[in-house]
Structure 1
């Protein structure tokens, strides 16, 4: 009887978590459907803000949301080592939350650790392939590494689901760098 109760409790808890994650996915799907259709920058910017607010909210753990916010503040104030510990802790607690990986990727970028940043970006994109922030960060790393074609591919990948993405403005500059490199 005790095993049965534990099973029922586990079922309800896991159903709750799956429900929260699936409702967040439904919201994101709707926002991305709108984003691909919008043709003015003001509306696109509003949709982008809504998407970021969903990404920054853990689907079922407010404490992780608070930790992410805390780690982000630490990063903004330059306390990179403490921020890294906070993001590591979040990732250990929930390795399926793409925004935790994205924040750590950003931190690694700020620390000039491009290898770890790219690895974390790949993890973000494996969980949320539409993460235009991660793709933009990936493009910026590729530019720093002078891998210009890869940078363009990252931006083009984001433009498939976010046609008015501001990072599109980087493409002509990257193409100029490619031409200069070939001279």
Structure 2
């Protein structure tokens, strides 16, 4: 009887987690459906902030949300090594939460570890292909690595679902770099 109760409790908890993740996905889907149709940059920025607010909230573990906030603060204060450990722990705890990977990619970028950052960005995009923040970061790394065509492709990918994305302003600058390089 005790095993049966434990099994039922496991199913209930598992269903709760799946429901929370599903609810978060539904919210994101609705926000992105609106984002792709908006041509007003002010309204798009409001939707962008709403999307970020969903991404940075773990769907079912407040402790992971708090760890992400802590790691982000460490990163902002320049304690990259400690922030890296915090994000490593988040990824170990929930490897399916794209924002843990995204924050670690950001730390790697700040540490000039571009290969590691690109690897984490690939993981972010495998979980959340619409992650315009990761795509923008990817573009910036490609610019630093002088892989300009790849940088443009990253931005263009983001523009598919976020047409008024500010990173679009990088494209003319990148095209200028390409022309300068070919001279």
When normalised by structure 1's length, the TM-score is 0.99
Q: Distance in 2 between matches of 1:167 and 1:157?
A: 11
Q: What corresponds to 1:30 in structure 2?
A: 30
Q: Distance in 1 between matches of 2:170 and 2:53?
A: 25
Q: Deviations over 1:152-172 (max 9, x none)?
A: 000000000000000000000
Q: What corresponds to 1:142 in structure 2?
A: 142
Instruction: Select the structure with the greater relative contact order (CA < 8 A; seq sep ≥ 6).
Output: 2
Q: Which structure 1 residue ranges, 5 or more long, are not aligned?
A: none
Aligned length: 183
Q: Distance in 2 between matches of 1:116 and 1:6?
A: 41
Calculate the aligned-residue CA RMSD, in Å.
0.6
Structure 1 residue 3 corresponds to structure 2 residue 6: no
Q: Which structure 2 residue ranges, 5 or more long, are not aligned?
A: none
Q: What corresponds to 1:61 in structure 2?
A: 61
Q: What corresponds to 1:128 in structure 2?
A: 128
Q: What corresponds to 1:161 in structure 2?
A: 161
When normalised by structure 2's length, the TM-score is 0.99
Q: Distance in 2 between matches of 1:153 and 1:81?
A: 31
Q: What corresponds to 2:106 in structure 1?
A: 106
Q: Distance in 2 between matches of 1:63 and 1:84?
A: 17
Q: Distance in 2 between matches of 1:99 and 1:89?
A: 13
C-alpha displacement of 1:5: 1.6
C-alpha displacement of 1:142: 0.2
C-alpha displacement of 1:7: 1.5
C-alpha displacement of 1:4: 1.7
